[in-house]
Amino acid sequence: MREQKKDIVKSIVVLVVICLVTSAALAIVNSFTAPVSAANRAAREEAARRAVIQDAAQFEKLDSGNLPETVVSAYRGLDAGGKTLGYIFTVEGKGFDGTIQVMCAIGPDGNILRCQTLDVSSETKTLGGKTANPEYTDQYTGKNSSLDGVNAVSGATITSTAYKNCVLDAFKAYDAVKEAG
């Protein structure tokens, strides 16, 4: 009996040591890869902003303190002379099976310049995933906050509604930014 307890304790100690060594190794690897991952993420975000306002010379990050909770980030796209070309809002919403993320660029006139789907990976590819297709996203271009004429993806109304709500939240953020001056 005493020998059996010794074996159990020895097994526990060995497993704890293995866990500690593995955790330390992961922490070390993470310390080297985290800056690279952050730089890659920043580059992808910059490329996405450039895709929705192509003529912008720079993007100015806006304070998101008084914006809807669903707004992840807000930027102002500026030309080389400092003139505002539009506002870019990244918004998250609850889709059918998880979180979706939409980037919406709204011009100074209050009309959508372009919408881009950033993440619908949690949605069914054959239905909710269609909200990432240009056939769906392009219908938002030129629309105002009424979103008249925007149609849902057949069979994916929950994801389509979540997408539309993200765009409506982008308009709420736009109104807040415009009021702040």
87: tokens are 């506002």
> Tens digit of pLDDT for each residue in 22-52?
999 999 988 888 888 888 878 888 888 988 9
CA dist., res. 25 & res. 3, Å (int) = 33
Residues of the chain predicted below pLDDT 50 = none
Identify the bridge partners of residue 58 per DSSP, sorted by sequence position.
Answer: 78
Cβ neighbours for 101, distance < 8 A, ≥ 6 positions apart? 72, 90, 91, 92, 117, 118, 119, 120, 166
* pTM for this model (two decimals): 0.78
> pLDDT at position 175, please?
92
**Contact criterion met (CB below 8 Å) for 89 and 73:** yes
